[in-house]
Amino acid sequence: MRVVLDTNVLVSGVLSPHGPPGRLLDLALAGDLVLVVDDRVLSEYAEVLRRPRFGLPAREVDALVRHLRAAGEAVTARPLAVTLPDADDLPFLEVAAAGAATLVTGNARHFRPVRGRHEVRVLSPRQAVGSVL
């Protein structure tokens, strides 16, 4: 299965490795899922994981992001003619569309377009785990 993990899923997987987000992160790190990324997605992962409230050592965050970059499939995403409630979510949708991937998010409502439409499959972490196993 080809996936784009929304940042909230990645962070949840790092902080609570025993739930569905953690399982998805494990599957991606093991190569059992194809993680589709671009530089914008990887930069957001790094920026959010480095926030002091999470208390993660910078070297561990950097190592994780390097691993995700190396293990993931990088795509060049084209802009989509879609307006989302939060424009910061658009790169994840664009990467999923470019990589023919499923977008996995804990906030599916963020990916309901206000204007335009998209053909990207959007699943919750629990749904995605159920699709893989």
Tens of pLDDT, residue by residue over 52-80, are 999 999 999 999 999 999 999 999 999 99
| Separation in Å, CA 24 to CA 11, 87, 91, 96, 124 | 11, 25, 20, 16, 11
**In the block, residue with structure tokens 């194809």:** 34
- Measured in residues, the chain has a length of 133
Strands 122-123 and 73-74 come out as unpaired
**In the block, residue with structure tokens 């879609």:** 82
pLDDT at 48: 98
> Which residue range(s) make up the domain with 106?
2-132
Span 7-34, average pLDDT: 96
| pTM score of the predicted model | 0.95
Asked whether residue 116 carries a pLDDT value surpassing 90, the answer given is no
CA 42 vs. chain centroid, Å, equals 9
Span 99-117, average pLDDT: 88
- Give Cβ neighbours of residue 126 (< 8 Å, ≥ 6 apart): 20
Is 45 within 8 Å of 12 (Cβ atoms)?
A: no
- Domain harbouring 108, CATH code: 3.40.50.1010
Please, which pLDDT band fits residue 118 given cuts at 50, 70 and 90? Answer: confident
Please state the domain count of the chain. 1
pLDDT at 3: 98
